[in-house]
């Protein structure tokens, strides 16, 4: 509780939904926040590109800057809040300027933290400043604080989560309606649940940014965004969703991180999870993070992953921490102590798999397929071939017991070469999360 008598001055860069939500929260809950912090929190400066737009919040008495970097440098503020977005450009430049001029930094920017968080943490810690980013992962859920502080006594072995609300909304809607990816995406864009350019969301990049941050925090490892294996959800078809349902699974885009001792796995890809797994019930725009700590066991946190209110709630929790003098190393321990952990290649991943093939219905095809599986020591769990249509292509769905990704990929390479196989095989990972 440092400087309890002094007003804590906040400068907010970026006045989109989250920026306006943050300004409104700081104003509307001023009394509550003063009671909790023991000092007033006051927005002294804001910056955004267009000064003329009505933003739906009261900016009277707040200094306006057209340029975020200029504000970071010269505004009368203790804390600089970056809500501009983007891994580089003005977001990065303004955070660097803020730290250089002795201001604490709070950001909601996962791309920035995933790419430059380590270097920025070194600078912040050298200067004794806070660099906080609760809002960058899982919106309003205090997952960063929980892992960094609440589970500080644990070695975390593995974590997984639904980290992108857009993908979860699309997958939930595809399952509920039987509609195609393109169709549901178009609707999500109309409803404002997906961006005009949906690449970062549907190709898994946004989830990968968040996963890299969680992995660094959980494992005490140096951030390694490049080490994240990423696969999006564009290729998921209503047919696969139908088969998943029949097999007792739901589709989720998961981020999964595992510390295997000899290296870490970081992967974002669509996964089939058992319908009764806790994470399967997290639907629509909700996010969830599940951690496994050696003393605490399984902990699940769930809530809204996006939106002005939830994200502002997370931003303000960081502001409150700093205003109360609760400044914690950015990744839970001093950045210079974070260990470089090598990334394990996906080929060495071992798990269960779903494979969908389109094959000509004629004698001997199944024998060729199963022989290829046997030659790669892949053990079949179940086969579904529904209907018969001699001489024409039919769908065959196979599920595998625990096998290595190298083995199943090897088998599929061989199977794809068979004359009777008419489309590239579709490979989807199954995660059962049993303890």
The residues that are catalytic are 210
State the minimum distance, in angstroms, from the CB of residue 139 to a second copy: 8
In this complex, which beta carbon is closest to a second copy, that of residue 166 or of residue 287? 287
Distance CA 236, CA 219 (A): 31
In this complex, which beta carbon is closest to a second copy, that of residue 309 or of residue 393? 309
State the minimum distance, in angstroms, from the CB of residue 182 to a second copy: 30
> In the Cβ-directed half-sphere of 355, how many Cα atoms lie within 13 Å?
33
Map residue 195 onto helix, strand or coil.
coil
Distance CA 403, CA 427 (A): 13
Q: By CB under 8 A, tell whether 78 contacts a second copy.
A: no
Q: Which residues 209-268 are close enough to bind a second copy by CB under 8 A?
A: 220
Q: By CB under 8 A, tell whether 51 contacts a second copy.
A: no
Distance CA 160, CA 267 (A): 9
Q: By CB under 8 A, tell whether 145 contacts a second copy.
A: yes
| Total of chain residues touching a second copy, rule CB under 8 A | 58
State the minimum distance, in angstroms, from the CB of residue 75 to a second copy: 22
> In the Cβ-directed half-sphere of 177, how many Cα atoms lie within 13 Å?
13
Q: By CB under 8 A, tell whether 27 contacts a second copy.
A: no
Q: By CB under 8 A, tell whether 152 contacts a second copy.
A: yes
Neighbours of 160 (CB within 10 A): 24
Distance CA 84, CA 257 (A): 28
Which of 160, 304, 376, 429 lies at the binding interface for a second copy (CB under 8 A)?
A: 304
Distance CA 310, CA 223 (A): 25
Q: Which residues 360-379 are close enough to bind a second copy by CB under 8 A?
A: none
Q: Which residues 313-342 are close enough to bind a second copy by CB under 8 A?
A: 313-317, 320-321, 324-329, 332-334, 337
- 271: which strand partners? 252, 429
Binding mask 264-303 for a second copy (x = CB under 8 A): --------------x--x-----------xxxxxxxxxxx
Stretch that binds a second copy, among 8-16, 139-147, 189-197, 231-239 (CB under 8 A): 139-147
State the minimum distance, in angstroms, from the CB of residue 209 to a second copy: 21
H/E element, 322: helix 308-323
Which of 155, 386, 401, 417 lies at the binding interface for a second copy (CB under 8 A)?
A: 155
Stretch that binds a second copy, among 244-252, 307-315, 360-368, 399-407 (CB under 8 A): 307-315
Binding mask 395-414 for a second copy (x = CB under 8 A): --------------------
- 426: which strand partners? 356
- Is 195 marked as a binding-site residue? yes
Which of 21, 165, 232, 425 lies at the binding interface for a second copy (CB under 8 A)?
A: 21
In this complex, which beta carbon is closest to a second copy, that of residue 38 or of residue 238? 38
Distance CA 157, CA 257 (A): 8
Write a three-state SS string for 206-269: HHHHHHHHHHHHHHCECCCHHHCEECCCCCCCHHHHHHHHHHCEEEEEEEEEEECCCCEEEEEE
Stretch that binds a second copy, among 111-119, 189-197, 312-320, 392-400 (CB under 8 A): 312-320
State the minimum distance, in angstroms, from the CB of residue 129 to a second copy: 12
Q: Which of 304, 316, 329 is nearest to 125 (CA)?
A: 329
> In the Cβ-directed half-sphere of 236, how many Cα atoms lie within 13 Å?
33
In this complex, which beta carbon is closest to a second copy, that of residue 306 or of residue 357? 306
In this complex, which beta carbon is closest to a second copy, that of residue 232 or of residue 293? 293
Map residue 167 onto helix, strand or coil.
helix
Q: Which of 289, 210, 280 is nearest to 250 (CA)?
A: 280
Distance CA 144, CA 160 (A): 14
Pairing of the two strands 249-259 and 264-274: antiparallel
Stretch that binds a second copy, among 141-149, 202-210, 253-261, 378-386 (CB under 8 A): 141-149
Residues in the annotated binding site for L-homoserine: 195
- Residues interacting with a second copy, by CB under 8 A? 1, 21, 25, 29, 32-33, 35-36, 38, 134, 140-142, 145-146, 149-155, 220, 278, 281, 293-304, 307, 309-310, 312-317, 320-321, 324-329, 332-334, 337
């Amino acid at each position: 509780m440092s400087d309890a008598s002094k007003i804590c001055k906040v400068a907010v860069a970026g006045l989109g939904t989250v920026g306006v939500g943050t300004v409104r929260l700081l104003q509307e809950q001023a009394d509550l926040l003063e009671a909790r912090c023991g000092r007033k929190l006051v927005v002294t400066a804001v910056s955004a590109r267009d000064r003329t737009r009505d933003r739906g919040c009261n900016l009277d008495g707040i200094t306006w800057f057209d340029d975020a970097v200029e504000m970071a440098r010269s505004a009368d503020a203790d804390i600089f809040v970056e809500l501009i977005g983007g891994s580089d450009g003005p977001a990065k430049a303004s955070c660097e300027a803020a730290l250089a001029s002795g201001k604490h930094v709070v950001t909601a920017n996962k791309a920035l933290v995933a790419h430059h968080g380590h270097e920025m943490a070194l600078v912040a810690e050298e200067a004794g400043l806070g660099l906080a980013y609760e809002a960058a992962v899982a919106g309003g859920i205090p997952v960063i604080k929980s892992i960094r502080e609440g589970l500080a006594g644990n070695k975390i072995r593995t974590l997984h989560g639904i980290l992108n609300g857009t993908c979860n909304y699309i997958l939930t809607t595809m399952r509920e309606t039987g509609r195609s990816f393109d169709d549901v995406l178009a609707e999500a864009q109309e409803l404002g649940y997906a961006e005009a350019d949906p690449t970062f969301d549907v190709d898994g990049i946004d989830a990968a940014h968040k996963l890299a941050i969680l992995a660094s925090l959980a494992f005490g490892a140096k951030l390694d965004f490049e080490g994240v294996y990423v696969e999006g959800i564009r290729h998921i078809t209503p047919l696969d969703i139908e088969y998943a349902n029949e097999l007792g699974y739901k589709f989720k885009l998961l981020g999964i991180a595992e510390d295997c001792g000899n290296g870490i796995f970081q992967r974002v890809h669509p996964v089939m999870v058992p319908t009764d797994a806790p994470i399967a019930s997290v639907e629509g725009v909700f996010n969830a993070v599940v951690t496994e700590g050696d003393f605490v066991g399984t902990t699940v946190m769930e809530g809204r992953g996006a939106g002005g209110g939830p994200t502002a709630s997370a931003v303000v929790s960081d502001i409150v921490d700093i205003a109360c003098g609760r400044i914690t190393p950015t990744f839970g321990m001093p950045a210079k102590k974070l260990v470089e952990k090598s990334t394990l290649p996906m080929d060495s991943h071992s798990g269960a798999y779903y494979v969908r093939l389109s094959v000509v219905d004629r004698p001997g095809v199944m024998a060729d397929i199963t022989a290829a599986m046997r030659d790669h020591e892949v053990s079949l769990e179940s086969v579904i071939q529904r209907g018969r249509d001699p001489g024409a292509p039919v769908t065959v769905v196979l599920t595998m017991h625990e096998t290595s990704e190298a083995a199943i990929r090897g088998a599929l390479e061989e199977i794809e070469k068979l004359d009777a196989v008419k489309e590239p095989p579709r490979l989807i990972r199954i995660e059962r999360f049993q303890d």
